[in-house]
Structure 1
Amino acid sequence: MWYFYVLQSEKEPDYFYKGSTGDLRNRLALHNGGDVKSTQPRRPWRLVYYEAFVSEKAARIREKSVKQSGAVSVPLMKRIMRSLEN
């Protein structure tokens, strides 16, 4: 399985990171261990959302669409934010 995921910074709760991976647990450990340069300053991270895909290509397409399109990203992030309020 491949995954599109969203992380929330516990240090800066208004900051979210979006990515894709074939190993969700390991990738979260890498983010929290400081092994991902782009997320080091905002550690620690928590997983707040993910979607599973059969192929790497599908997961990467989803990641790209969320990162590049406000029409895709805004509703998704609103849904995630609402779920975090409960």
Structure 2
Amino acid sequence: MHETYILYSESKDRYYVGSTSVGVIKRVERHNAGWSRSTKSGIPWLIKYVETFATKSEALARERHIKRQKSRRYIEELIHSDSNEWTEE
């Protein structure tokens, strides 16, 4: 299972788009532990959106597609859409 995800940092008021094959929870734990230079300053990160794919190439393609939009509005529409698989408990 491969996932494309969107995280949000309240302190930076910024979204981060990524993909993973280790599971979103584990990947976010790594982001929040400071493993990634590009997300270290935005800790803590909250999961806002997740899509699941059968292959790594599909997940990476979706990540690139979202990033190419260069649009906060597009990201926020995705987060609030019915296709959002992620629900915070």
After TM superposition, is the score higher than 0.5?
Answer: yes
Coarse TM-score class (shorter-chain normalised): 0.7 to 0.9
The reply to whether residue 15 of structure 1 matches residue 14 of structure 2 is yes
> What root-mean-square deviation, in Å, do the aligned CA atoms of Structure 1 and Structure 2 show?
2.3
Q: TM-score, normalised by structure 1?
A: 0.81
Unmatched 5+ residue regions in structure 2? 85-89
Unmatched 5+ residue regions in structure 1? none
User: In 1, distance between residues paired with 2:15 and 2:80?
Assistant: 10
Q: How many residues align?
A: 81
Partner secondary structure for residue 76 of structure 2? helix
Higher share in helix: 1
Percent of matched pairs sharing the same residue? 32
Q: What displacement does 1:26 show?
A: 1.3
Partner secondary structure for residue 38 of structure 1? coil
Q: TM-score, normalised by structure 2?
A: 0.79
Q: In structure 2, what is the equivalent of residue 48 of structure 1? A: 48
